[in-house]
A = this chain, B = another copy of it.
Amino acid sequence: MATKSAPGLAGFQHRTALDKRAKPFDLYAIDPGATPFSSGDKVADKAMVESLAKDLDGLQDLLWADRRFKVLVILQGTDTSGKDGTIRGVFGQMSALGVRTIGWKAPTLHERAHDYLWRIHQQVPGDGEIVIFNRSQYEDVLVPVVNGQITKEQKLQRYAQINDFERMLTGNGTLVLKFLLLISKDEQRKRLQARLDDPTKMWKFEGGDIETRKHWKAYQSAYRDAVAATGTPWAPWTIVPADSKTHRNLMIATAMKEALVGLKLRYPPADPAMKGVKLK
């Protein structure tokens, strides 16, 4: 029931944007239906997700006590790719103390009066915090690209700005973890249809989803370019085959645990003056 170790994850990570010799990254080569982290037994996989989510709860408590690091988790993916489900399944056991989720929508008039990173920067984690972005600054190199609202030059400029921004964050103690949830066009059809057919899911359906689905190819291409350009040594992308929800959670929970364990967190040392003090 053991999850795959580090090398398994590395195969799905893209961090070579700055390495000119590296083979160009190709998102299309990854199968959304793959389940490399599965044990092959769905019940066992689900139990493992539960177990990992508990581990993550403990690690988050330690991160909050430690206060030396900040953690920014970015979840990107097309409609119905499972961003909400990931937050429930992987991060659901964590304390509200020290964890925040931001669901990014289209910018307001006030937000649009500033650079597109202005509202993003305001919400990044402080010391000890985990902040989960449900969508992110990457929307600004997807939607306007597909809709032809920015030029190619502006797109390249934004890639560079996002890379600079994330380097600044990591340089100031933030762990930036970016997950791209990959589903197939057919899986999306099933999930959208399920929303339409189920009165308890209908509220999640938006008319815009169908419009966006029409541009499936353009979005895939925009994702491919964005991931290739912004998978950096300081903030690599992890591509998550997500047609299987259990696999998606298993893989993200595994990656999260690995990343947090890698920080070598510790409870802050006690004040020597307080050592051995007996309260009366």
Q: Which residue numbers of A lie inside 8 Å of B, CB to CB?
A: 70, 110, 113-118, 121-122, 124, 126-129, 157, 161, 164-165, 167-169, 171-174
Q: How far is the CA of A173 from the CA of B117 in the complex (A)?
A: 13
A167→B164 contact, CB < 8 A: yes
Tallying the copies of this chain within the complex gives 2
Q: How distant is A187 from chain B, measured CB to nearest CB, in Å?
A: 36
B124→A172 contact, CB < 8 A: no
A168→B110 contact, CB < 8 A: no
B122→A168 contact, CB < 8 A: no
Q: A113-B128, A115-B171, A121-B121 are in contact. List 10 more A-B contacts (CB 8 A).
A: A114-B126, A115-B168, A115-B172, A115-B173, A117-B168, A118-B122, A157-B171, A161-B172, A164-B168, A165-B168
Q: How far is the CA of A175 from the CA of B164 in the complex (A)?
A: 19
Q: How far is the CA of A116 from the CA of B127 in the complex (A)?
A: 12
Name which of A115, A157, A165 has the most chain B CB atoms within 10 A of its CB. A115
Q: How distant is A225 from chain B, measured CB to nearest CB, in Å?
A: 19
On chain B, the residues within 8 Å of A174 by CB distance are 115
A161→B171 contact, CB < 8 A: yes
Say which residue of B122, B127, B164 sits within 8 Å of A121 (CB atoms).
B122
Residue of B nearest to A111 (CB): B126
B169→A115 contact, CB < 8 A: yes
On chain B, the residues within 8 Å of A167 by CB distance are 161, 164
Q: How distant is A116 from chain B, measured CB to nearest CB, in Å?
A: 7
Residue of B nearest to A164 (CB): B164
Q: How distant is A48 from chain B, measured CB to nearest CB, in Å?
A: 34
Q: How far is the CA of A53 from the CA of B73 in the complex (A)?
A: 48
A127→B115 contact, CB < 8 A: no
With A121-B121, A164-B167, A167-B164: A172-B113 Cβ-Cβ less than 8 Å: no
Q: How distant is A161 from chain B, measured CB to nearest CB, in Å?
A: 5
Q: How distant is A196 from chain B, measured CB to nearest CB, in Å?
A: 39
Ordered by A's residue number, 21 sampled pairs between the chains whose C-beta atoms are within 8 Å are A110-B126, A113-B126, A113-B127, A113-B128, A113-B129, A114-B127, A114-B172, A115-B124, A115-B169, A115-B171, A115-B172, A115-B174, A117-B168, A118-B124, A121-B122, A122-B122, A161-B167, A161-B168, A164-B164, A164-B165, A164-B167
Q: How far is the CA of A129 from the CA of B128 in the complex (A)?
A: 35
